């Protein structure tokens, strides 16, 4: 099965370079990014489209699927919770360590990276049992980092630069072996 993952379009906290637990909608630039991606993928037929339930992801999905009102969401595709870091500048943390799978450093009350990745891995393991040919997933940068770990391996455990940019798309092949 071909699995395409897309990161949502830009939201305000992306532009401001802040952590956020807010359920924000797309900025005008984010809408434009989604419309541009829609044109790039218009010839791909998706058997299934699944989104994070957060507004920025569902709005991106609406644009990509011609505002189809049958949005299917999965809670496991939510972004990694930054907890008490919400509203803080990204620089308040060592971003390399925040996205290092093997780091023991914890910041505030944020979701542990291992628990977060496990949540995404469980989603992908379940997806393997479905009979789809081509699936579109609309989610977040952190989710795309977990996809990278699942499909490309842990490597050195550093995921800061392994996530997608806003409205970037990546294709993976999901089979019995993962």
Domain contains 22? yes
pLDDT tens column, 101-147: 999 888 888 999 999 999 999 999 999 999 999 999 999 999 999 99
Residue 144 is given by DSSP the state H
Rounded Cα distance, 14 and 162, in Å: 16
Model confidence at 149, pLDDT cuts 50, 70, 90, reads: very high
Residue 176 is given by DSSP the state T
The predicted structure's pLDDT at residue 13: 97
Q: Which domain holds residue 21?
A: 2-173
The predicted structure's pLDDT at residue 177: 52
Q: What are the DSSP calls for 50-93, one per residue? A: EE-SSHHHHHHHHHHTTT-S--EE-GGGSPPP-GGGTTSBGGGS
Task: Say whether pLDDT at 157 is over 60.
Answer: yes
* 112, 64 contact by CB (below 8 A): no
The predicted structure's pLDDT at residue 70: 72
CATH of the domain at 114: 3.40.50.1240
Domain contains 39? yes
pLDDT tens column, 47-86: 999 999 999 999 999 999 986 767 799 999 999 999 999 9
Task: Say whether pLDDT at 178 is over 50.
Answer: no
Task: Say whether pLDDT at 21 is over 50.
Answer: yes
Domain contains 178? no
Query: What total of structural domains would you count in the chain?
Result: 1
pLDDT tens column, 83-102: 999 999 999 999 999 999 99
Domain contains 64? yes
Q: H or E segment at 136? A: strand 134-139
Domain contains 78? yes
The predicted structure's pLDDT at residue 134: 95
């Amino acid at each position: 099965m071909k699995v395409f993952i897309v990161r949502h379009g830009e939201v305000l906290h992306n532009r401001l370079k802040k952590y956020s637990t807010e359920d924000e909608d797309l900025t005008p630039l984010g809408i434009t990014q989604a419309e541009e991606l829609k044109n790039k993928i218009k010839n791909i037929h998706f058997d299934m489209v699944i989104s994070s339930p957060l507004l920025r992801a569902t709005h991106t999905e609406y644009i990509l699927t011609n505002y189809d009102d049958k949005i299917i969401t999965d809670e496991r595709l939510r972004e990694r919770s930054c907890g008490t870091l919400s509203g803080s500048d990204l620089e308040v943390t060592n971003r390399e360590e925040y996205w290092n799978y093997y780091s023991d450093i914890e910041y505030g009350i944020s979701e542990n990276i291992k628990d977060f990745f496990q949540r995404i891995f469980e989603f992908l393991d379940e997806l393997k049992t479905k009979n789809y040919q081509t699936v579109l997933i609309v989610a977040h940068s952190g989710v795309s980092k977990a996809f990278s770990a699942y499909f490309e391996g842990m490597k050195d455990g550093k995921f800061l630069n392994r996530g997608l940019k806003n409205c970037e798309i990546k294709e993976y092949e999901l089979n019995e072996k993962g």
